[in-house]
Structure 1
Amino acid sequence: MANDLMDFRPYERRPLPTLRDIVAVVFRQRRVIFGTFLGVLVLVLLSGLWMRRYEAHMKFLVLRQRTDMMVTASANAPAQDSGAITEEDLNSEVELIRSDDLLRKVVVATNLQNRSSSIFSHPKQETAVASAVRKLDKDLDVEPIRKTNVIEVKYRTGDPQLAATVLNAVAKAYLEKHREVHRPSGEFKFFDQQTDRFQQGLEQSQAQLAEFTQKNGVVDAQVQKDLILQRLADFNATAHQAEASAVETARRIRTLETQLNAMQPRLTTEIRTGENPQLMQQLKSTLLNLELKRTELLTKYDPSYPLVREVEKQIAETKASIGAEESAPPKEQTTNQDPTYMMLRSDLAKAQADLSGFEARATALSVAANEYRSEAKTLEEMGLTQEDLKRTEKTQEENYLLYLRKREEARISDALDQRGILNVAVAEQPVAPAFPVQSPARTGGITLMLAFFLSIGTGFIADFADPSFRTPDEVVGYLEMPVLAALPRKTTE
């Protein structure tokens, strides 16, 4: 009923509480206040905040002094960017330091899982390690310093030597982590294996090429094929020239034969005419003898006598011969060989000989060209095989030199890693702190003040939340009615 009246009663300003009211509240809520005070003290005691805490710190400097070559398949691998350190770079290094695997290494190295001050025990080693990793992540403070390339690492614990030991373990694990992340492990071994592999392949390809050259007797099939093709072109040109000369010579022979058929082999160079004195003298002597014989016969015989007639007939024939000789004297002709005809015959004989030579030459050149053509075809097939072997040898050599260069780069990087030449350095080594960051007296004072104010506040909140009437004044103030009588509360205290 009273609660309902309080809910629907209009708000009115109440007077400020007096010291007596405050003391009354404390007296009424003494159990709540005392319980809250003891609870805060117990929680502080259980949390270990009252214990001495030592803080060790160290600093890492992020550099760009070393440029690592990127692992690529190209011969000239690009170097990593060596510009200024960016905020992203620093945040990346911070995340490396706070990574779970790094913190786990630190926990195992410093045996933090067995040094936990927690009241709860972990029966399993893995659970203890996980709990120690979580606590280390909470106690470890890693922050980059503004406008610098420095990362500051802080760690608080109750043992000063342990604080320095943990930070030293963090530094060692972080440098190893940085080296593993920025350069893959096993790089030199991989490139060494690949170098040996391609060296064997190069030796094998060289042996195959040498065996092919020795077996076929070809030093450079492509060059020899080009020479053969050049010779083939020359022979073809010469053969075509010989065939053309043969055709021309045959046409010339036909022309010479036609000219020779139209000419005489000899020419009349001199014609002489005149009497033949010996013949005329002989004919006249014969005529004289015949006339003398006829005269002698006429002295003995009659003119009709046959013998006389025979002599007269011979006389008539002799006279006829003398007359014929005198009317057609004999002619004497002198002839010589025609030089043009002889020259044409000589040219014809030479052309015929040349024709045979041209035909024989063209046939021989055609045979030689066919041989060169066949040899060029064979050399082309051998050249393809030889070029394939050369390409294989060149590829093996390029890969061998590439991995040889990569192996040397990896060896240099490993040497730099072994000497600790990295892009991060410990700028400030951790040392065991001599003074705690907080004293038990200050912690106790703060704890008592916190417990006092928290308990008083809790008491007032509990009293305000109590809906009952505790004094007659509260009844009068709430109901605006006079109180006729008030009975004190019976207590057994």
Structure 2
Amino acid sequence: MDKEHTQEKRSSLRDLAYVFFRRKWVILGVFLSTVIPVTVYMLLIPPLYEATARLLVKPGRENIYVSPVGSPEGMHPPTIIQRVSEVINSEIQIIESRVLIRRVVEEMGVARLFPHMLLEDSQAADAKESLRFEAAVNRALHDLSAERVKATDVIEVGFKSYNPDMSANFIDRLIDLYLERHLEVHQSGQSYEFFRTQSAQLEQKLKTAARRLADFKKRYGIVSFNERKDLTLSKYMGVNAAIKDNDTAIKETQKRIEKFKEDLTEISEHKYLSQDQSTDPPVISTLKQRLAELELRKTELVGEYKQDNFKVVSIDNAIAKAREMLAGEEEKFHGSVSTGLSATYQQIEAELLVQEANMAAFSSRGAELGKHLIKYGQELERLGRLEPELRALERDVSVQEQNYRLYLTKFEESRVSDAMDAARMVSVSVLEPATAPLRPIPVHKALNIIVSICIGGVAGLGLAFLIEYFDHTFKVPEDIKDNLKVPMLGTVADLPHEEIEDLEALAASAKPPANYELITSNIVMHAEEKESNVLSFCSPTSEEGSSTVAVGLAASLAKAHGGRVVLIDANFRHPVLHSRFNIPISPGFADVVDEGADVHEATRQSVVANLFVLTCGTIPPNPMAILESPKLVDLIEVLRREFHWIIFDCAPINLYPDSSVLASRLDGTVLVIQAEDKRAEVAIQAKERLEQAGAKILGAVLNRRRYAIPEIVYRGL
């Protein structure tokens, strides 16, 4: 387990080192393009000075809001519409505004502030003056800083310049113009004249409303509407209650009268005994007593009410009725008869007369009360019709008075505010004015260079890994295994062209060509297992080195195994073997198959022992006719009897159909893929074409592989 973990760790380190050394020029380029400009700038930058000033900001009248809508009392408490932090942020925005900076630059001059921005071409000065001015404003905005001092109500304003006096002068002028700009931003405009005009108009409206109200009251004789209405309503309610009481008394009296009449019908009126004249009969006595009570009640009412009051009138009517009844009784005979009258009958009859007198009084009183109720009801109805118009007039007067008082107050406030603005009374004060700095701003040159080194290194590595991530070419054997899913036969290093073309050195060497030992072993192993000794070498596209690999493998087979090997140039599109071995191009492969040339004469011995070459011959107009000819099978059978290995060098698979047709008639095919050249999709397409043609793919060879990691580093990983 530990061994596998160690192997995975080494593999990861080698992958990282591979990317680093393979993309070293990209990493170096990004690194130097970052570090060199920063280093040069740090070494050549002139000293920069920064002057600062501090401003104290307090919530003032600019930040207090009084509602223009008046309350019933005409007063509103002031409301602070911004917090202190919001006020300070607003002031910072004013300080850093482009309008304010333009004023400062315009007053101080571009040549004075930024002399390095003067144009060299005086003829173009006028045409570019506006551009130079805008550039100066942008530079001033860049060099200006305004920020709140932490946990305070103070704003620190700073300006950077190569001239210490200029930085202080810029700050001083900026603060002066800022205070003026502060007043411009926060002033309420022409509020004084507006409120003066509105106050005069509202005063006239108030007078008009008051005059309409007075005319209305005079027209209808109203002094105090509420008191008059309450008094009339009180009288109406009193009369209504008296009517109810009188109706109740009438009902009770009527019941008593009916009861007395019923009793009289049940009692005998005469009982004769003797006759005796009575001087004070009970009826007369009762009527006299009732009359006395009514007169006493009238005396009390006259003390409280006027003579025409309905209560006094009712008592007078009752007294007149009682007197009339008393006079009638006095004219009658009252005394005892020998035959005799019933005393009980007479007593009930007297009570009946009293109740009838009361009934007459109550009826008269009810009629009088009804007249008064109608009178007070009509008065209430009249007042009800007048009340909406009266209330509307009163409301109009109240609204006009309230608006007038409000605008009069605002008029006075605006007058005071204009006076304060004229005196430049603002909520911002200069806490610490700007002074020329004695020392420049400290620049950490070494630290900046170190940071640039770190950034350059990280950026270079990041770009390298990004390029590597999007690089879909074949770089290592694992890429072929993962993408093509075919056996990996081996790799061929990226050697110098002279070393590859040196056939004399290859012939003189006792060993097989370098980098071909593993490929040769793998192909021999496959040949022994599947009896495959007729092979084709082809690549997806041109210039991937399939001919070179075919030559190297053929030489390796000839040297390592001592068997006879024939190398056939089947690339009719771009034949190269005749020039590589420096032999005539014909007669060759096409001549043998198409024209029946002698194969022994066409096959030539190369400088390498046991290695024979059959060139392509006369290039046919239709190569497919050669590759599909039945004579090709006969030729292969002849060659099998004389050679141990038959190697075909073929045309590119994705460009021509030659390789697919030929590969389907051979024992096997080897794909030659150049490292770091084409995308994986190109090789996959070539493999699919071979499989569709029915070819047997023995495996793939990664050609011109570059070993990016130095050998000493690779061994240490």
TM-score range, shorter chain: 0.5 to 0.7
User: What is the Cα deviation at residue 101 of structure 1?
Assistant: 2.0
| Aligned CA distance change for structure 1 residues 434 and 257 (closer, same or farther; 3 Å) | closer
| Aligned CA distance change for structure 1 residues 106 and 363 (closer, same or farther; 3 Å) | farther
| Aligned CA distance change for structure 1 residues 367 and 146 (closer, same or farther; 3 Å) | closer
Q: Give the 3-state SS of the residue equivalent to 2:421 in structure 1.
A: helix
Q: TM-score, normalised by structure 2?
A: 0.38
Which residue number in structure 2 is paired with residue 70 of structure 1?
Answer: 65
Aligned with 1:100 (options 84, 98, 101): 98
Which residue number in structure 2 is paired with residue 238 of structure 1?
Answer: 242
Does residue 1:360 correspond to 2:358, yes or no? no
Any conservation in 1 of the 2:58–2:428 contact (CA below 8 Å)?
Answer: yes
Which residue number in structure 2 is paired with residue 171 of structure 1?
Answer: 175
Amino acid at match of 1:152: V
Amino acid at match of 1:61: L
Q: Give the 3-state SS of the residue equivalent to 1:425 in structure 2.
A: strand
| Aligned CA distance change for structure 1 residues 102 and 228 (closer, same or farther; 3 Å) | same
**1:150-181 deviations in Å (ceiling 9; x for gaps):** 42243758796x87775454223311332344
Instruction: Kindly indicate whether structure 1 or structure 2 has the higher relative contact order, using CA contacts under 8 Å at least 6 residues apart.
Output: 1
Which residue number in structure 2 is paired with residue 386 of structure 1?
Answer: 390
What pairs with 1:245-324 in structure 2 (closer than 5 Å)? Answer: 245-259=249-263, 262-264=267-269, 268-269=273-274
User: What is the Cα deviation at residue 402 of structure 1?
Assistant: 3.7
Which residue number in structure 2 is paired with residue 417 of structure 1?
Answer: 421
Q: Give the 3-state SS of the residue equivalent to 2:157 in structure 1.
A: strand
Which residue number in structure 1 is paired with residue 56 of structure 2?
Answer: 61
**1:67-115 deviations in Å (ceiling 9; x for gaps):** 84214347534532797x54x6544423211212222344555566999
Q: Give the 3-state SS of the residue equivalent to 1:232 in structure 2.
A: helix
Which residue number in structure 1 is paired with residue 156 of structure 2?
Answer: 151
Q: Give the 3-state SS of the residue equivalent to 1:420 in structure 2.
A: coil
Aligned equivalents of 1:249 and 1:238: distance in 2? Answer: 16
Aligned equivalents of 1:427 and 1:344: distance in 2? Answer: 113
User: What is the Cα deviation at residue 227 of structure 1?
Assistant: 2.9
Amino acid at match of 1:356: A
User: What is the Cα deviation at residue 241 of structure 1?
Assistant: 2.0
Q: CA RMSD in A?
A: 4.7
Aligned equivalents of 1:224 and 1:403: distance in 2? Answer: 36
Q: Give the 3-state SS of the residue equivalent to 2:125 in structure 1.
A: coil
**1:423-474 deviations in Å (ceiling 9; x for gaps):** 211234457x699989xxxxxxxxxxxxxxxxxxxxxxxxxxxxxxxxxxxx
Q: Give the 3-state SS of the residue equivalent to 1:269 in structure 2.
A: strand
Aligned equivalents of 2:391 and 2:188: distance in 1? Answer: 38
Moved more, 406-415 or 379-388: 406-415
Any conservation in 1 of the 2:64–2:80 contact (CA below 8 Å)?
Answer: yes
Which residue number in structure 1 is paired with residue 374 of structure 2?
Answer: 370
User: What is the Cα deviation at residue 242 of structure 1?
Assistant: 1.8
Which residue number in structure 1 is paired with residue 215 of structure 2?
Answer: 211
| Aligned CA distance change for structure 1 residues 106 and 187 (closer, same or farther; 3 Å) | farther
Which residue number in structure 1 is paired with residue 189 of structure 2?
Answer: 185
**Highest CA radius of gyration, 1 or 2?**
1
| Aligned CA distance change for structure 1 residues 246 and 416 (closer, same or farther; 3 Å) | same
Amino acid at match of 1:423: S
Aligned equivalents of 1:250 and 1:147: distance in 2? Answer: 96
Any conservation in 1 of the 2:261–2:352 contact (CA below 8 Å)?
Answer: yes
Amino acid at match of 1:393: V
Q: TM-score, normalised by structure 1?
A: 0.52
Which residue number in structure 2 is paired with residue 311 of structure 1?
Answer: none
Structure 1 runs not aligned, ≥5 long: 1-9, 12-39, 272-332, 439-478, 481-493
User: What is the Cα deviation at residue 236 of structure 1?
Assistant: 1.3
| Aligned CA distance change for structure 1 residues 139 and 68 (closer, same or farther; 3 Å) | closer
Aligned equivalents of 2:232 and 2:196: distance in 1? Answer: 46
User: What is the Cα deviation at residue 199 of structure 1?
Assistant: 3.7
User: What is the Cα deviation at residue 231 of structure 1?
Assistant: 1.8
Q: Give the 3-state SS of the residue equivalent to 1:185 in structure 2.
A: coil
Q: Give the 3-state SS of the residue equivalent to 2:213 in structure 1.
A: helix
| Aligned CA distance change for structure 1 residues 434 and 356 (closer, same or farther; 3 Å) | closer
Q: Give the 3-state SS of the residue equivalent to 1:172 in structure 2.
A: helix
| Aligned CA distance change for structure 1 residues 139 and 234 (closer, same or farther; 3 Å) | same
User: What is the Cα deviation at residue 192 of structure 1?
Assistant: 4.3
Moved more, 53-62 or 95-104: 53-62
| Aligned CA distance change for structure 1 residues 196 and 265 (closer, same or farther; 3 Å) | farther
Aligned equivalents of 1:180 and 1:265: distance in 2? Answer: 120
Any conservation in 2 of the 1:155–1:167 contact (CA below 8 Å)?
Answer: no
Aligned equivalents of 1:65 and 1:257: distance in 2? Answer: 97
Aligned equivalents of 1:387 and 1:165: distance in 2? Answer: 68
What pairs with 1:394-413 in structure 2 (closer than 5 Å)? Answer: 394-413=398-417
Amino acid at match of 1:373: G
